[in-house]
Amino acid sequence: MLKQLSAPNHVIAFTIDGALSAEGVQEYRSIFDEKRQQYEQIGLYVEFLELADINASTLLEGVKADIELWRHLDQLSRCAIVSDKKWPQTLVSIIKRIVPKLEMQVFATSQSAEALQWAATIPKKPAAKRAAIHFLPTNKANVLAFEIDGTMSADEMPEVIDSLESFFADHEKVRLLNRMTHFAGFDPAILIQRQGLFSMKLAAIKKVERYAIVGAPNWMSKLIHAMQPVFPNMQMQTFAADREDEALQWLEAELIKTDELMT
């Protein structure tokens, strides 16, 4: 059962105790929709007392609520999870890796007052950051290299996608090099952009015959290898950060230095 709690006006606070119903999820969606229209920034406080199994209708409503939340994630300033269970900490650590801009923290039930106060505090907005994706020139027309350094933002995606789609349109078969200098996650708004990485046509992706990822963190390397069967015609290989030369040899290409472009 979902029960709303008393909290500052800009904070959505509730407890989950026992079975979560579809009606409870709908109530949460209604509260969230009302709050986001009233306040620029919203805090979220969720206290898990006990969570039982959920049925299909509840799961469906939950998916709808998640989509709605992702669409307006920029308005969610902080999310406090209160529980003495171990699984919320694991879940939050995974989400932080993928969506670092969302502040999340797990509190023990004995810290509920502190958790509510933390969720109600609106952090200062960080200064605008530079683009995280940069293209690197190569000596082969069908080899595209790019670097990821920072958090991928929704603002930079349209230009990135335009470049990728133009590149794919010009070649029947392509090879890619992804230099992951520092992957700090991505803006969740990318997931719902009409023109985004996740909406790129499958036909274009099928043109990739080799994809080298350099410097990927360990967890991402494991994920990449696990995804290999999904793209049987694409050879994907990861390389340590200090083995970029090997990756380029595998792609049969070289990077062109900036000073070489100017001569």
The larger pLDDT score, comparing residue 91 to residue 72, is at: 91
pLDDT tens-digit readout, 87-115: 888 888 887 777 777 789 999 999 999 99
Span 117-129, mean pLDDT?
Answer: 77
> Whole-number mean pLDDT of the chain?
81
Give the mean pLDDT of 239-263: 85
Confidence at residue 53, expressed as pLDDT on a 0 to 100 scale: 46
The residue among 80, 66, 60 whose CA lies nearest residue 191 is 66
Closest CA to 163 of 201, 190, 134: 134
* pTM, two decimal places: 0.55
pLDDT digits (tens, 9 = 90+) for 149-167: 988 887 888 888 888 888 9
Summarize the confidence of residues 74-99 as an average pLDDT.
Answer: 84
Model confidence at 238: pLDDT above 60: yes
More confident residue, 70 or 234: 234
- pLDDT at position 200, please? 60
Q: What is the pLDDT of residue 129?
A: 62
Q: What is the C-alpha separation between 176 and 202, in angstroms, rounded?
A: 16
Contact 174, 142 (CB under 8 A): yes
Task: Read off the pLDDT of residues 20-63 as tens digits, 9 standing for 90 and up.
Answer: 666 766 777 788 888 888 888 999 999 987 654 444 444 344 44
Determine contact, residues 207/176, Cβ cutoff 8 Å: no
Nearest alpha carbon to residue 154 among 194, 181, 208: 194
More confident residue, 261 or 237: 237
